[in-house]
Amino acid sequence: MSIAELVFIAIGLSMDAFAVSICKGLEMKKTNISASLTIALFFGGFQAFMPFVGWILGTQFQKYIDSFDHWIAFILLLYIGGKMIKESVENSEREVSVSYSIDYNELLFLAVATSMDALAVGITIAFLNSNILFSCVIIGIVTFVLSILGVRIGAKFGGRFEKEAGIVGGVILSLIGLKILLEHFM
């Protein structure tokens, strides 16, 4: 597999993490460097780690993973998207703090949900006899960079359209979950 092919795969894999990073940025009144790096490390780290796990599992477990990974991603993203919508509607009347705090449990669920496709890519990398460590590093770096960019984009608009942004972000997360589920059945 060439470096160009690997970068395109990494970009494709990181699109869900990019979209979720925008949603996380929408929750911020302004860009928070520490939170941005934490979010990017979670998404980049899981996107880098999951292909390695897929590579280790190989083809003998593929049928077991394929049978439920889409359901896990769908349920997690639907739950978090619904929670985001609910909190946006409930908090619309209250004064919201300028500070942003990270919910690490939620971030962990989001990172796992958005990296399930990377697990399957790891299995593919095993078939292609490509260098798994190099592949994981490229995937992780691309996701890390796009996640920081996503948080910054979201933060730029989040403070201006706080309630609407929270609702849109929740809907986007739910739609990503639905997309993952529907792609499995197509």
CA distance 75 to 13: 19
What single string gives the DSSP state of each residue in 102-143?
Answer: --HHHHHHHHHHHTHHHHHHHHHHHHHT--HHHHHHHHHHHH
Find out whether 153 and 61 touch, Cβ atoms under 8 Å: no
Measure Cα distances from 95 to 53, 86, 98, 162, 163 in Å: 44, 16, 9, 11, 11
Structural domains in the chain (count): 1
pTM: 0.72
* Domain residue limits at 89: 3-185
Q: What are phi and psi of 24, to 5 degrees?
A: -65, -40
Residue 51 near residue 122, CB atoms below 8 Å: yes
pLDDT values of the chain reduced to their tens digit, one per residue, 186 residues: 678 888 888 888 888 888 888 888 888 877 788 889 999 999 999 999 999 998 887 656 666 766 776 787 677 677 777 876 787 777 655 444 445 678 899 899 889 988 887 887 887 777 667 789 999 999 999 999 999 999 998 888 766 666 666 677 678 778 877 887 788 787
Please state, as a whole number, how many other Cβ atoms lie within 10 Å of the Cβ of residue 182: 11
